[in-house]
Structure 1
Amino acid sequence: MKAAIDRFLLYLKNERGCAVNTQLAYSTDVRQFEHVLSAGFGSPLKLEQLSTSMVASYARWLQDQGYRPSTVSRKMAAARAFLIYLERQERVISPSPHAVLHPPSAPRTLPNVLSREQIDRLVEAPVQTGTPRGLRDASILGLLYVGGLRASEAVGSNLEDVDLAAENFLRRGVDPMTIRLGVALDPLRVYLRVGRPHLVKDDKEQALFLNLRGKRLSRQGLWLVVKRWAAAEGFGADISPHTLRHSLIRHLLDDGKSKREIQHMLGLSSPNAIRVTTQ
């Protein structure tokens, strides 16, 4: 199991483009998950041995340690991500027992910022439809987040802005910048290969995101994409494209980026524009 954890951490670094601090947090939490299970069920623990009852026992252990609810949620999210990786990437456990890892209940509020786990859920949900529209929506949601894009930047992007081979996207504007695709890479790859060809009506159309008539998606259409999938995942009515931008800022701050660095990355006029996410 320890070797699988090492492969998972490499996956986070190389495929998901996670920041160093994020990788370290996952490493700490997932290794704790392995340590607790090994202590309770024998070491070395084999992947084939993982069961729902084992994972449920870890969830109970976390609840008994006196951690804050936010810490329990983070540790459960790390274990969930590892188990989902084992199921979908290494295909060694099926179905994954991650469903028993329920974060502690808390008063339900409409979030101004989504957690990384919520971002993953938001991007993954449209993929499950398998439709051209769903593949498009997943690509939109992923790109809004990884690029911290404004709605106008997303709908204004063209095919030439995506470099799948380099796993990069060119965010245009006054200060153009190349960004790593991260969680948007896989959805974009599938959308461009099998989704967009079903939407395009004119081969000369260069818009990256198309509506059902084969034309460039409008800002209103993009807002509806975000609203529809946020509602489907139960995130509340106040989620907008700007929420994904704020979420990226919050996560970058958590990863140790300075406000000045984030200002440069997102093309903000001043670091003061970041204050709303840190209050």
Structure 2
Amino acid sequence: MNILLGAFIDYLANVKELSRNTLDSYKRDISQYISFLDERNIDDIRYTNKTTIITYLLYMQKNGKATSTISRNLASIRSFYQFLVNEKYIDRDPTINLESPKSEKKLPSVLTLNEVELLLTQPNEGNEKGIRDKAMLELLYATGIRVSELVSLNYCDLNLDMGYIKCKNSGTKERIIPIGSMARKAVERFIKECRFSLVRDESEQALFVNYHGTRLTRQGFWKIIKMYTQKAKIGKKITPHTLRHSFATHLLQNGADLRSVQEMLGHSDISTTQIYTQITKNKIKEVYNKTHPRA
């Protein structure tokens, strides 16, 4: 079955052109499913059926896996079987009409405007590291891009004269995102004062680099934001994605239309963006309850 998994991953990489992180996720999910089958002496994918898959989902649930994790695994397994049917490895798809477990959508944690301001003022702009970190934080909040997209930015993706960045999502779709004056100023200062002294190889394309002069990693940025969170003493758990959530919520609170926010975030489905409208509604209700004399 590992040969089939290899063929599936090759298809996702070469035909679907999925990102390395997405490929790794699919490979991990299907490998775990195959291990489950091996433990039950099922060595041929043709001997599996809907009951087999349901048993696996219940097995994951029994082992304390989150509903979201189980749903993602089922989505991976469904894609795997669809591939096998299309490539004539099997005759039927046992995942047809198999529903994903319903999960309660948790509203993402967001920062208030004051908390964002507090976080963005933490970098010490008296040195190169602080100037770089300030530019990254400002750009992240100004555009709502993912951390993976932030560290993947190349110098040529930036257009300061026109005030926008070119950003690619996990696939190959490119989107143009405007950047505000504060982020523009911070990034411009970083480029003029720091980037070219940090880059050791002139062929390096990355916009943001580490002290080795090479592209900053997601793990490296995680450490950076964790440090500034502790320094700011904000009483919330802040992850790199928190600024993305805050970006979307603050835009909607200030009158932005949902379609524009969807476009900037790079969501393929507007229902994904709609979760931020719930945060906005909750905020309005909170303000009403606190301020209306008959609330």
Distance 1:136 1:153 in 2: 16
Q: TM-score, normalised by structure 2?
A: 0.53
Distance 2:134 2:260 in 1: 27
* SS of 1:176 mapped into structure 2: strand
Match of 1:228 in 2: 227
Number of equivalenced pairs: 168
Residue 123 (str. 1) matches residue 123 (str. 2): no
Larger Rg: 2
2:209, 2:215 within 8 Å by CA — same for their partners in 1? yes
1:144, 1:154 within 8 Å by CA — same for their partners in 2? yes
Structure 1, unmatched stretches of 5+, are 1-110
State the shift of 1:180 in Å.
2.4
Letter matched to residue 256 of structure 1 = G
Letter matched to residue 116 of structure 1 = L
Match of 1:112 in 2: 109
Match of 1:217 in 2: 216
Deviations 1:47-104 (A, max 9, x none): xxxxxxxxxxxxxxxxxxxxxxxxxxxxxxxxxxxxxxxxxxxxxxxxxxxxxxxxxx
* SS of 1:125 mapped into structure 2: coil
1:259, 1:274 within 8 Å by CA — same for their partners in 2? yes
Q: Which shifted more, 155-164 or 193-202?
A: 193-202
CA pair 181-204 structure 1, distance change in 2 beyond 3 A: farther
Residue 139 (str. 1) matches residue 135 (str. 2): yes
CA pair 131-209 structure 1, distance change in 2 beyond 3 A: same
Distance 1:275 1:229 in 2: 29
1:161, 1:171 within 8 Å by CA — same for their partners in 2? yes
1:211, 1:217 within 8 Å by CA — same for their partners in 2? yes
Q: TM-score, normalised by structure 1?
A: 0.56
Q: Percent identity?
A: 35
* SS of 1:238 mapped into structure 2: coil
Deviations 1:246-279 (A, max 9, x none): 0011111111123222112211022222344334
CA RMSD of aligned residues (A): 1.9
Distance 2:165 2:117 in 1: 19
Deviations 1:209-233 (A, max 9, x none): 1011111000101111111112211
CA pair 236-210 structure 1, distance change in 2 beyond 3 A: farther
State the shift of 1:195 in Å.
1.6
Distance 1:237 1:256 in 2: 26
Match of 1:245 in 2: 244
